[in-house]
Structures are given as structure tokens and as C-alpha cells.
Amino acid sequence: MANRKYITYNEVHKLCQNAAPKILSEWKPSLMIAIGGGGYVPARILRSFLKTPGSPNIPIQAIGLSLYEKLATDGPEEAAGHTVTRTQWLDFSAVKQSDLVGRNILIVDEVDDTRTTLQYAVQELKKDVEEAAKLMGREGEETRFFVFVLHNKDKPKKGALPDDMMKEGRYLAAETVGDEWCCYPWEATNIDEHDRLANEAALKKVTAKPNGN
């Protein structure tokens, strides 16, 4: 079984806060699309840090994608399935097609594991944008997608993101981790125990360093 990494709400908050200045100054998104359910909390936190005085909050749309299946164990780990299932998609009564075309759109998820989900999300959203652009006769306008995740697992990926996205730095992982199971606070059934395990691991890390700093 893979090691577990326990992440606290406080850490999630700070990972979003630290990423926000780059997202705000360089990416300038006008719409966030959170991949549910792990992308919801990071997207909501980011929204506060992306707010500029005098401008409205950046709207958050949600899509639901599922690749993982619950293992028959007592633990939090889930096993990767083979196909991505859509459980929810853009709500076109709330998001206008003109909100997509020619815009900068930030896709938010909590973790990039095999990258299958992110590949699917970008591919399918691109299709929607192309369709919308065609309908509006605005094919010439460039819509740029950006990806933000809290954690990227440093491992061979099954999925791929577009070359231009990677080359142009339109992908940001707040933290790169090993191939371990990330336990997020919103999944915890006992948040005090979750935080205790996170603090214990942090303490071990500090004491394991030769000088303790």
C-alpha cells in the first residue's frame, strides 16, 4: 500500500494563497472550472485570493468526473478505473457561450495522479469552446486553458496535457509529491485525528533533518 500524506485545511489554504499572485498577474482567468469533488475547496479558496478590489469575484463552474473506484478496504485509498465518467458538466443556463470563447479559463483540481482526468477535462472543454466559437462565428479567437492542482505526483503519466499548455507554463502544481496517497481534510471522517497524523508526519520530517532546520 502506498504511503499516505495527510494534508490539513491550513496547508491547502496556504498552497492556494501562494499560487494566487502568479495566477492573477500572469494567467488572468475570467472563469474557473472546478473538477469535483476535489477541486471545489481549492477553487473556492483561490477565488478569495484572486479577487481584485472593484471587480466581481471570478465565477466558478463545476464539472464532475470520476475515474476512481472505492477499494474494498477500510482505508481512504481508491483504485484507478480505466474510463472517465462524466457525473456533471457545465451548466449552460449559467455560463454563456460568450463566457468561454476568447477567454482565459482556469481548471482546478486537487491532485494530478495519472493525469487521465485532466487530459479528459481539457480535451472535452476544448471541444465545447470550439463548438461555441463556431456557433457564434468567432473561430478566430483564442481561448486559453490553464490548470492548477494542489499536488502533482512525480510519476509516469497515462494522460497528457497539450504541448503548448506545458511549454507556455499554463500548468501549475503547488507542490510536487511522490507516488503516495494524498489524504485531504475534506475526506476525513475524524478531522482531529487527521490533523494529528499530519502534524506527526511534519514533526518527523523536521527531526529527520541533520540540523533540524
Instruction: Please identify every residue annotated as catalytic.
Output: 113
Rounded distance between C-alpha atoms, residue 203 and residue 95, angstroms: 45
Rounded to a whole number of angstroms, the minimum distance from the CB of residue 109 to ligand 5GP is 5
101 vs 148 by CB, closer to ligand 5GP: 148
CB of 55 to ligand 5GP, least distance (A): 29
CA distance 153 to 208: 22
Give the span between the Cα atoms of 74 and 52, in whole angstroms: 44
Would you say 77 or 128 has its CB closer to ligand 5GP? 77
Pick between residue 117 and residue 143 the one whose CB is nearest to ligand 5GP.
117
> Which residue lies nearer to ligand 5GP by CB, 103 or 181?
181
Q: How far is the CB of 153 from ligand 5GP (least distance, A)?
A: 7
The residues, any chain, with a CB within 8 Å of residue 66's CB and separated by 6 or more, are 81, 84, 85, 87
Which residues contact ligand 5GP (rule: CB under 6 A)? Answer: 35, 38, 67-68, 80, 109-117, 181-182, 184, 187
Q: Which three cell numbers stand for residue 6?
A: 495527510
Beta strand pairing call for 104-112 and 171-177: unpaired
Q: How far is the CB of 161 from ligand 5GP (least distance, A)?
A: 11
Work out the burial of residue 53: count CB atoms within 10 Å of its CB; fewer than 13 is exposed, 13-18 middle, 19 or more buried.
exposed
